[in-house]
């Protein structure tokens, strides 16, 4: 249970409470103010946030659909706990989506897309040079989001957005080490080069390598925190 006095975000005042509560919960989960497997009390949350239970429930349903919470009937909502297998699955699905995305993008690579992606890599490099780990992750995700955006399939992009919430969870919760800034830079420039070449096979190879590296970083973290493949902390 969260400490009663710990109110990481200011009070909620404006409308659209559902989204605000959802954002608050998302941040709280990613920043580990709620531990994996922990049970969330609706009344407690509504008291802490100063809203009624209705928006809290709706926000929780939203987070459930995003894979951050799990609901057990008559038991309430629990923070999603990922085991090693689920972690692999998330990155495998990411690979699936991004492979398809980069190939579609290669078919319709416009100067606009090229410019936007290049600029985003610059931003990412800048972020990687700084100390804000969260921002680095966000800019990284944003680059990949841009790729899928310019791939021209809105539904594919939505699938990636859905997954990205879990991805954030994986990355933030487990990653202990940070990639070196120049590694990040070259890694992403390779993607741009592959796109420039217009060769689908090169694109696929580049994205396979890129995501493989990202996955290894996270999987390495798993080895540190747990030993069993079945360390799912979900209560029965």
Partner DNA sequence: CGATTGCCGACTGTCGACAGTTTTACCAAG
Partner DNA sequence: CTTGGTAAAACTGTCGACAGTCGGCAATCG
Applying CB under 8 A, the residues found at the interface with its own copies are: 15-16, 54, 57-58, 61-62, 65, 67, 73, 85-86, 89-90, 92-93, 95-97, 99-100, 104, 153-156, 158-159, 162-163, 166
109 binds, among its own copies, DNA, none (CB under 5 to 8 A by kind): none
Task: Pick the binder of DNA from 54, 180, 201, 213 (CB under 7 A).
Answer: 54
Instruction: Please state the closest distance from residue 133 (CB atom) to its own copies, in A.
Output: 25
State both tokens at 205.
């190879």
CB of 56 to DNA, least distance (A): 8
Number of other residues whose CB lies within 10 A of the CB of residue 144: 25
| 3-state SS class at 29 | helix
CB half-sphere exposure, 13, CA atoms < 13 A? 3
Can you tell me whether residue 64 is helix, strand or coil? helix
- Rule CB under 7 A: say whether 53 interacts with DNA: yes
**Interface with DNA by CB under 7 A: which range of 41-49, 83-91, 102-110, 202-210?**
41-49
User: Within positions 56 to 85, which residues make up the interface with DNA, using CB under 7 A?
Assistant: 57, 71, 73-77
Q: Which is nearer to DNA, 2 or 93 (CB)?
A: 2
Binding site for DNA (CB under 7 A): 15-18, 39-44, 46, 50-55, 57, 71, 73-77
């Amino acid at each position: 249970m969260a400490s009663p006095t710990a109110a990481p975000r200011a009070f909620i005042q404006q409308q659209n409470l559902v989204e605000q509560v959802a954002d608050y919960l998302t941040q709280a989960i990613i920043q580990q103010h709620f531990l994996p497997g922990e049970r969330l009390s609706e009344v407690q949350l509504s008291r802490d946030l100063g809203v009624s239970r209705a928006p809290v429930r709706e926000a929780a349903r939203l987070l459930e659909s995003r894979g951050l919470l799990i609901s057990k009937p008559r038991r309430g909502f629990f923070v999603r706990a990922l085991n090693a297998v689920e972690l692999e699955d998330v990155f495998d699905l990411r690979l699936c989506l991004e492979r398809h995305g980069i190939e579609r993008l290669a078919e319709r690579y416009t100067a606009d897309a090229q410019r936007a992606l290049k600029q985003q890599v610059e931003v990412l490099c800048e972020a990687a040079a700084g100390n804000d780990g969260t921002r680095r992750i966000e800019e990284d995700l944003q680059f990949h989001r841009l790729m899928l955006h310019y791939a021209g399939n809105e539904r594919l992009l939505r699938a990636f957005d859905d997954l990205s919430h879990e991805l954030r969870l994986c990355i933030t919760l487990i990653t202990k080490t940070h990639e070196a800034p120049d590694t990040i830079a070259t890694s992403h420039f390779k993607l741009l080069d592959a796109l420039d070449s217009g060769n689908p096979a090169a694109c696929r190879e580049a994205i396979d390598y890129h995501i493989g590296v990202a996955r290894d970083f996270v999987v390495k973290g798993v080895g540190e925190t747990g030993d069993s493949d079945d360390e799912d902390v979900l209560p029965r």
